[in-house]
Chains A and B, each alone.
Chain A
Amino acid sequence: METAVVNTDFKSQEYFINMGPQHPATHGVLRLLLTIDGEIIKKVDPDLGYIHRSIEKMCERDSYQQIVHLTDRMDYLSANINNEAVCLAVENALELEVTDRIKVIRTIVGELTRISSHCLWWGVMGMDVGALTTYFYGFRDREMINDIFEETCGARLTMNYNVPGGLMFDIHPNFVKRVKEFVAHFKTKIPEYDRLLSNNIIFQKRTKGVGVLTKEDAISFGVSGPVGRASGYSCDVRKYHPYSALDRVTFNEALRIEGDTYARYQVRIQELWESLSIIEQLIDNIPEGDYRVPTNAVIKLPKGEYYQKVETARGELGVYIISTGTKNPYRVKFRSPGFSNLSVLNHIAVGSKIADLVAIMATLDLVIPDIDR
């Protein structure tokens, strides 16, 4: 096959290798064209589009209720938060005020989603650098969250629990009890994560000082989420544009200044604690009220442009809807966090070794459909 993404200015001792499309460390179908000199990386050229499904084009055909169901196929590890973003955009456009009950449940479910995504990330991060045990530990805890979701809305991965106007169903009678059980369980497990991986000297040697990203570059590359915050860039959408019930809870924004792979790792570990804290503040006082506010069967947004940003497990997801007043959007753009986070890979990986690239990619926490859409 003709390699379209080859650069021409390479020297005689350099050579190309392909990493992926289906490399164990890319967790999806992403091809990286590496220009290397010995073991040192000179250039990383990502080749995307293997699972591009033209979701933005499909949105121009679909009704607003249908669009919600496409978004959880993008970042399937933050499915609930993706759904929430579209629902919030539609509700803002309709000036529809949802009940406190909806807001609080959305926030709890969103934070559970974040924990489950970080659990999976932690497991595969360990696996990428050669520690298989973490994979099973991460999945063990994530399983409890999936069980809670399954009981409440019937799905474990692509939830579709949020709909424009509220929630698909009310929470299951066991929901509160099981979430509390999970919180108590998980509080004893994060220290275990630390003992197993965070404090492991081999792991630290492989991640400290690797793939350093400065704050200025993070902002310029549009990097967000834990990747940005590890560089000292305060970019938590939950803090500066709070949505749902996030304005009524207190939590700390996880920040590090080193900007290296270990800092990105530490930010996510701290975020696990913060998400638990948010859930604890809300779980005992879920307000009474309707779980769904009536909407028209056919939603027509007023003519105009609507932008809603939320904080997914990977960073800032933006939903930009242009409406001409009909039942379909004129144009929808998803500003996905993974897309911007991937664009920084070449910048921070140059000069590292291939084994470092695996660790760097692991802490960028890429979900390929989130990039390809």
Chain B
Amino acid sequence: MTNEALQNLISAWNLDLGFSEEGSQFLNVSVKPERLHFLMEQLKINQETKFDYLFCLTGVDWGQNLGVVYHLESTIFRHQLVVKVETDDRDNPIIDSVSDLWSTAGFHEREVYDFFGIKFNNHPNLKRLFLTEEWDGFPLRKDYEDDINMVIK
């Protein structure tokens, strides 16, 4: 399916989405956190989209907002899509987990939690993945500082 056809199909779901293709080779869809899980479920099960392969899940610190970027691909149609979600609550960022839809999100969301502190609702096993449990702070945030261990300032 072409990006244009994808956009027409997805916007018909009335989920208050933003679309953009600027500065990216994919069609980008931004969604509000409360609509994320519904959108992702539709993208996976809809017969015309069938995004069954979540090939990348990335946490990003956009300065004020914390966000997650999902790269989706259909192994049947080979079309690709990027879904973005952001939250401005830096103290208690919460986003729904998609690990019930794609098992790979289980590990990837733990990685994002580890480095950005974003909590994922309904994740079966949300704890630090690379760092120790007692680690203080979230190192990939832009405002993270560690006077002792950090070489990069």
Contact = CB atoms under 8 A, between A and B. Distances in A.
A318 B108 CA distance: 14
A335 B56 contact: yes
A309 B25 CA distance: 13
B56 A307 contact: yes
Interface stretch (B4-12, B35-43, B129-137): B129-137
Interface stretch (A53-61, A99-107, A253-261, A349-357): A53-61
Interface in B38-81: 52-56, 58, 60-61, 69, 71, 75, 78
A220 B55 contact: no
A33 to B, nearest CB: 13
Given A49-B129, A307-B26, A222 B104 contact: yes
B2 interface: no
Main secondary structure of the interface of B (DSSP, over half): loop
Contact of B54 (A222, A240, A320, A339): A222
Nearest to B71: A307
B104 A233 contact: no
B88 to A, nearest CB: 18
A4 B127 contact: yes
Interface in A298-332: 302-307, 309, 316, 318, 320, 322, 331
Contacts of B54: 222
B23 A303 contact: yes
Contacts of A234: 75
Interface in B81-122: 82, 102-104, 106-108, 111
A343 B107 contact: yes
A219 B52 contact: yes
Contacts of B152: 57-58, 60-61
A235 B23 contact: no
Nearest to B105: A222
A326 to B, nearest CB: 14
Given A58-B152, A333-B58, A221 B103 contact: yes
B17 interface: no
Interface residues of B, number: 35
Nearest to A224: B55
Given A318-B71, A320-B58, A343 B103 contact: yes
A82 to B, nearest CB: 16
Given A57-B139, A61-B152, A343 B104 contact: yes
A49 B133 CA distance: 12
Interface residues of A, number: 42
A306 B26 CA distance: 9
Contacts of B52: 219-220
A180 interface: no
Contact of B60 (A5, A304, A309, A322): A322
Most interface-central of B55, B132, B139 (chain A CB within 10 A): B55
Contacts of A5: 127
A323 B26 CA distance: 15
B24 interface: yes
B140 interface: yes
Given A233-B75, A305-B23, A318-B71, A335 B103 contact: no
B56 A333 contact: yes
Interface in A90-109: 92
A339 B105 CA distance: 11
Contacts of B104: 220-222, 340, 343
A306 B108 CA distance: 20
A56 B140 contact: yes
Given A305-B24, A318-B71, A57 B102 contact: no
Interface of B: 22-26, 52-56, 58, 60-61, 69, 71, 75, 78, 82, 102-104, 106-108, 111, 127-133, 139-140, 152
Interface of A: 4-5, 48-49, 52, 54, 56-58, 60-61, 92, 217, 219-222, 233-235, 240, 302-307, 309, 316, 318, 320, 322, 331, 333, 335, 339-340, 342-344, 347, 372
In order of increasing CB-CB distance, the 8 nearest A-B pairs are A304-B23, A222-B104, A49-B130, A343-B107, A335-B56, A333-B58, A220-B103, A52-B130
26 contacts: A4-B132, A48-B129, A48-B130, A49-B132, A52-B130, A52-B131, A56-B140, A57-B139, A58-B152, A219-B75, A221-B103, A222-B55, A234-B75, A304-B24, A307-B26, A307-B71, A309-B55, A318-B55, A318-B56, A322-B60, A331-B58, A333-B58, A335-B55, A340-B104, A343-B103, A347-B103
Given A217-B103, A222-B102, A333-B56, 4 more contacts: A304-B22, A316-B55, A320-B71, A333-B58
